[in-house]
Structure 1
Amino acid sequence: MGLYFTTPMTTAQVVEHLGYPTRQCLERWLAMDSRYAGHMAKPIIPLETRRRAVELVLGGMQQKQAAKQLGVSVGAVHGWVRAYRKGGMAALRL
């Protein structure tokens, strides 16, 4: 994790340089580490898009279709729906 903060590299560049872990995994580790609190960027996908994805899926659309319609990954839609089911709309702000 130190490489991310000691160089101008992005998380994707750090992962490419090291060969592990995935970018998402590195970002989760950074987000959970209190030493780096506040240094991680906010989600780049607008809350409105996340909310719309959840609404589409809850309305009966398949996650894959919702992802395609909104131009996001299926994994992102899956995560938002899971977060919503655990914590409601407030969970989508995280």
Structure 2
Amino acid sequence: MEPTPADTVKNAIQQALTQALANDDPVHRIRAITAILDAIKDCGPTLKAPRQADVLKLRETMTLREVGDLIGLSIPRVDQIAKGK
């Protein structure tokens, strides 16, 4: 079974964390973990835009409930994504 994109990301984060924790210097570990967290945060806008576009595309022909059922999210969450939140 091929790994999902989420599996790939989780594995990369785990590998980076393992590398960060391998250092005995707490200052180095703190800086490395902070950099990992910053990198994850920086990806947010890159990930949100295509998700919003896809939800809006589905909303052209489906209700919030139908989209939510299809993608496994609640109606309020689908609405939030559609609004860019």
Greater RCO structure (CA 8 Å; 6+ sep): 2
- Greater percentage in helix: 2
TM-score range, shorter chain: 0.3 to 0.5
Q: TM-score, normalised by structure 2?
A: 0.37
Q: Of the two, which has the highest radius of gyration? A: 2
Q: TM-score, normalised by structure 1?
A: 0.34
